[in-house]
Structure 1
Amino acid sequence: MDPQDNPTEITVSPFWRYILLAVGWLFLAIGAIGAFLPILPTVPFLLITAWAWSKSSRRLHRWLYRNKTCGPYLVAWNKHGVIPPRAKVLAIGTMTVGWLFLTIYVATSFWVPLIVGAIEVAVSTFILTRPSRAPHAPPSN
């Protein structure tokens, strides 16, 4: 079942509903900024937006998953755990550029680049081990 077709009712209190709506809008804005800044990822922020809106607004959640720009990526991730090849290259490439910038211009000791590099290797490993395309449907007889 697609998340946009989720029939479950919103069960959080009105207070938490407004908090989650605000969280969704905040992370959508950060994700939109990330679409233009090479050091800021987009998809993780959209995933947080999708989670927050799934708990607070079926209408906004549906809109996000049906959006022609980001919807297909969210659906592919939700259904099959897919990260497209272009997104993999961009994610790992921007992490590498950010790490190089940190190492050359910011870090005053070797510990910060070492720790950040280890985290980025773990994240890159996760990204590279995700499928790049959705599995094909079995042929019908």
Structure 2
Amino acid sequence: MKVIYILLGGLSLGLGVAGIFLPLLPTTPFLLLSAALWLRSSPRLYHWLLNHKRLGPYIRDFLEHKAIPLRVKIISVSLVWITLLYCALFVARVWWLALLFILLAMALSWHILSYKTRR
């Protein structure tokens, strides 16, 4: 099971890193999943992730405060709406797909904004 947890943690880490650049992929949940999987399978990888210069603060900040910084909330919600509104207006060829993009933007915004704000 340890090998499976390590591999799933690596996959989750990859998705988390991709989420930094892709607005539809969340970063923190995937990094938290990686940390949880590696905590159970590889203390060395877990400590590496928590002490990583760029990725560690995402995890430590969320674990300590259960909150998202205001700047991150603003950027995340803005990118979600810019991306999905563009898709709804210029990519979707049928009305129901455009509506799906808008509903997805609303759901993602609600999810992001549902966390406490850390200033």
TM-score higher than 0.5: yes
The answer to whether the 8 Å contact 2:80/2:108 transfers is no
| Structure whose residues are more often strand by fraction | 2
Of residues 9, 18, 21 in structure 2, which corresponds to 1:33? 18
Q: 1:123 to 1:34 in 2, by over 3 A?
A: closer
Matched with 2:73 is 88
Matched with 1:101 is 86
Q: CA RMSD in A?
A: 2.3
Q: Number of paired residues?
A: 119
Q: % of aligned pairs identical? A: 36
Q: 1:102 to 1:127 in 2, by over 3 A?
A: same
Matched with 1:45 is 30
For residues 61-140 of structure 1, the aligned pairs below 5 Å read 61-133=46-118
Deviation at 1:37, TM superposition (A): 4.4
Post-superposition Cα deviations, 1:59-81, rounded to whole Å, max 9, x if no partner, equal 21122112232222212212321
Of structures 1 and 2, the larger Rg is shown by 1
TM-score, length-scaled by structure 1? 0.69
Q: Which amino acid letter does the alignment assign opposite residue 112 of structure 1?
A: L
| Structure whose residues are more often helix by fraction | 2
- Give unpaired runs (5+ residues) of structure 1: 1-15, 135-141
Q: Which amino acid letter does the alignment assign opposite residue 99 of structure 1?
A: L
